[in-house]
Structures are given as structure tokens and as C-alpha cells.
Structure 1
Amino acid sequence: MFNRLVGVKDKVYPEGTHLMVPWFERPIIYDVRARPYLVESTSGSRDLQMVKIGLRVLTRPMADQLPEIYRTLAENYSERVLPSIIHETLKDIVAQYNAKPAYHSERERKILTQRATNFNIPLDDVSITTLTFGKEFTAAIEAKKVAAQEAARAKFIGESKSAQLIGQAIANNKAFITLRKIEAAREIAQTIAHSANKVYLSSDDLLLNLQGMNLEVDPKK
């Protein structure tokens, strides 16, 4: 309540019917419900990439501190405080990190909540709504994705071609299977030889029964 003689009274009147002296007094009405406030800020990251962040906060004034809020910030308290502290906080935090790990909402929430509380404006929620990188950084990310897809495609084609060649080698020369068995047996034997543990397994299961293999090649095949 504003009084022409004493100024803003320290008493806060809740919703309802109250008496006032006409002309000498007038009510100052505040909405103490939480309301969303959107701010967009463009900041530079530690690796010199421009990051545009849209931040949404739910804010409300402290009901018991309304006289102090009116004396220091007037009725449009959110427009006077929130843009400056949000821009400053975002620029300070984004500058400490590279553009890739750009989500730091938890730290932003703590710092913004603490700073807003100093102005008697608690923040019920802080969340990032939009996140946009510069054109160069976005193009680099897209190029990296395309390169990864091309590498995966080349690997798939190589594996398919390798399987096709092995199939043709087996069909043309049965000795190819025997050669692969010998190579597999050699790798298994080297692994067992360098192992500190004792191994007791059937040689038939480990492809180590090379003496029983028929290594002669039929000239007709």
C-alpha cells in the first residue's frame, strides 16, 4: 500500500478486501504466481564457437519482500533484473567450456537462482529451450557425420568383398580351408604357449590335430 505521507508501507496485504483512505492511499498489486520468462543469449565458447542459447525460467516475487522490491525495482522487476543476470551468467558459463558439451543447465540453474534470490526473486525452474551453433560449427558436425557414414559404408563393402573372395577361393581350391585351419591352429598354439595358466582341452576342439589332416593336393582339382 502506498501512502502519500509515509510512502510504501511495510505491511503486505494478501488477496481479499481491505480498507484504504481515498486519495491518500492506493494499492500496488503484484502477481505472486510463478510466470515463465524467456531470454535468448549468444555467447562464445572456450573453443571460439558462437552458441545461441534460449533459456526459460519460472519466476515469482517473494511475497513478504514486496515493499522492498517496489522500492528498488518498481513493478516491472523481472524486466529490470532477469535479462542482465541471465546474459551475464550464460556468457560466463559458456566461455568455460567447448561448444560440444554445451549443456550445463544444472550449474546455470544454481548460479541464476542464487543471483536472483539476492533481488528477492526466486526461480522455481531453469531450463534450456533452444540451442543453436554457428554455421561453421554446424557444417563441421554435418561433415563429420557424413564421413562416419562413408567409413561405415566402405567397411561394409570391404567385408562383403572379402567374404565373396573367400567363398570363391574355397570353391576353386579346397586346400584354402586347410590353410585357414593351419593359421587358426598356429594362433591358438601361440596363445596357449604364452599363457601363464595350464590348459587341458581336446586337440580336436582346438584345430591342433594337424597330423591327421590330409595336406596332399589333388592335381585334378
Structure 2
Amino acid sequence: MATRAFLKYLNGQPDLRKLKLVVYGGIGVYVWSNTFYSVQGGHRAILFNRLSGVKDKVYGEGMHIRWPFLEKPIHYEIRAQPHLIESISGTRDLQTVKVVIRILSRPIAPNLPEIYRTVGHDYDERVMPSVVQEAIKTVIARYNVSELVTQRNKVSEEIWDVLKKRAMMFKITLDDVSLIHVSFGTEFTTAVEAKQVAAQEVERVKFVVEKAEQDKKSVIIRAEGEAKSAELIGTAMESNPSFITLRQIEAAKEIAHTVAEGENKVYRCSSDLLLNLRKH
């Protein structure tokens, strides 16, 4: 609406006056846009003065005033930003380890002027990779490969402690540090696989030996049982002649039951049923 009213006003003015109004209006808009600036949520701003340099004041969210043409706002996001950093390090037992670490970092708001003076606006790209690499190599060198696997949480905490101290030197704070991936060199992986295969082979041989021992015991027990049974049968036959007759009857009953359960009819003589055994 304001633009339309302004254009309508210009249409009723002489050409020279129109030109002046356009020029003055453009200058006014330019000056206005270079006088006021806003800071978005989750951000802070500092002012760089072309005559005196960076000011020490930090500006919060909202609208602010600056000297046009002389001062330039520099915005920083103060919310925690994630970074994934990869490092190849050596362990205490001289093995190569590949580590991927995730960190959440943010600048300390009151120290933004100092951060800008020392490392610039892109502090996270300049500082964090080198600081993280140094911390990872320092901590990983204290452990051997097996300890990295069994004490992963402890390793992550130590990296965090070292990183916090180093980052604080650059006025950066860390909200979280996580060790998300650890992989080992080809030689170590091959050695682990060979060890697993050897362990499985040992277990297999152990099982075969134990099975053979059990089979041996079973054969001995069965032989002892059969010998004892034969001994008892011999004793029974000597002490009681009718024992053999009882065994004949039991055998005949078993044969008769088997024949009766069959689908075909079978006629057998008594000799096949062991009923004609004679005593000698």
C-alpha cells in the first residue's frame, strides 16, 4: 500500500522532483537497511568496526543498531553443532585402528570477540579437526587392541576429557563426545579370524574325544552286562533245570505275537517256535 501511494504521489509531481524523490528514497532505504540488523534465535552477533576493529560487546536476539558503512555484524550460531571426524591411530601394541567420533560443540557466547580475533568466523572447521585428531591419537596410544574392545566406554570418556581441555583453550565447549565406530587393520582382523577357526577346531576335536570316551564306556558297560547276564543264566540253568523251559516259552510267545501282528496268515510247525527243544 505504501509503495502504491508513493508511486501515485510521484505521478502528480514534475519529472525533476520525481527523480529527486526516487534518489533520496533509495538513499534512505539503503541507509535504513545498513543501520538496523536483526539477530535470529539461537544466534549471537558481534560488530566489526572498520576503524577500531572488533568490539567486545556481544549482541543477543532481536533488532540492533549499527553505524552504517562503518560497522558490519558477524553472526555466530551458539546452538550445539554435530561433527563426525575420522582418525587413523596406532595402539600401544602397534596395531592400526580406524576411529570415527561424533562431537557436539558450540562457542562460548561471551567469548565470541576473542574467538573471532584468534581463529576467525569458521572456528569449527579450523580448530575442531586438529584438536580431535590430537585427542584421539593421545588416548588410543594408551591402550592395546583388546582393551579398546572391552573398555570402549572408558576410552570414550578419556577422549572427552582431553577434548574438553583442548577445546576450552579456544573458548569452545563440548556437550557430547561419542565413539561410534572402531575398526582394526587387515592383519589384526585376519589373526582374529584364524584364532576363532582354531578355537572352533579345538572344540570339535574335544567333542570327538569325549564322544569316543563315552562310546568306549558304553561298550564296556554293555559287555559287562552281557557277561553278567550269561553268568546268571548259567547259574540258573544249573540250579533249576526248568529255567530253560521258561525261556523257551517266553521265546515262543514273542514269535507268536510277531506272527499274529502281521497282515498275512502264517502256519509254522512247533519246531519253529522252539517248543520241541529237548534236554540233553
> If the TM-score is normalised by the length of the shorter chain, which range does it land in?
0.7 to 0.9
For residue 77 of structure 2, what is the aligned residue in structure 1?
31
Matches for 1:1-221 after TM superposition, within 5 Å: 1-102=47-148, 103=152, 104-174=155-225, 218=231
SS of the equivalent of 1:28 reads strand
Higher relative contact order by CA 8 Å / sep ≥ 6: 1 or 2? 1
CA-atom RMSD in angstroms: 2.1
Cα distance in 1, alignment partners of residues 215 and 209 from structure 2: 10
Answer with 1 or 2: which has the greater Rg. 2
**Structure (1/2) with the larger strand percentage:** 2
Cα distance in 2, alignment partners of residues 15 and 151 from structure 1: 69
SS of the equivalent of 2:69 reads coil
What is the deviation of 1:175?
Answer: 9.6
Cα distance in 2, alignment partners of residues 164 and 220 from structure 1: 27
**Deviations, residues 149-183 of structure 1 (Å, cap 9, x unaligned):** 2222222222222222211211111399xxxxxxx
SS of the equivalent of 1:105 reads helix
Cα distance in 1, alignment partners of residues 232 and 219 from structure 2: 18
Structure 1 residue runs of 4 or more that deviate by more than 6 Å after TM superposition: none
- Sequence identity of aligned pairs in percent? 48
Cα distance in 2, alignment partners of residues 60 and 24 from structure 1: 29
Cα distance in 2, alignment partners of residues 124 and 147 from structure 1: 45
Cα distance in 2, alignment partners of residues 85 and 9 from structure 1: 27
What is the deviation of 1:25?
Answer: 1.1
**Structure (1/2) with the larger helix percentage:** 2
Paired residue type of 1:127: S
**Deviations, residues 66-108 of structure 1 (Å, cap 9, x unaligned):** 1110010111101111111211122122222212212311111
Cα distance in 2, alignment partners of residues 172 and 124 from structure 1: 75
For residue 36 of structure 2, what is the aligned residue in structure 1?
none
Structure 2, gaps ≥5 residues long: 1-46, 235-280
Paired residue type of 1:114: K
Cα distance in 1, alignment partners of residues 115 and 63 from structure 2: 23
Alignment length, in residue pairs? 182
Cα distance in 2, alignment partners of residues 2 and 37 from structure 1: 28
Cα distance in 2, alignment partners of residues 115 and 2 from structure 1: 27
Cα distance in 1, alignment partners of residues 196 and 136 from structure 2: 28
TM-score by length of structure 2 reads 0.61
For residue 186 of structure 1, what is the aligned residue in structure 2?
none
Paired residue type of 2:197: V
TM-score by length of structure 1 reads 0.76
SS of the equivalent of 1:127 reads strand
Cα distance in 2, alignment partners of residues 175 and 162 from structure 1: 20
Cα distance in 2, alignment partners of residues 145 and 20 from structure 1: 70
SS of the equivalent of 2:181 reads strand
SS of the equivalent of 1:124 reads strand
For residue 251 of structure 2, what is the aligned residue in structure 1?
none
What is the deviation of 1:43?
Answer: 1.1
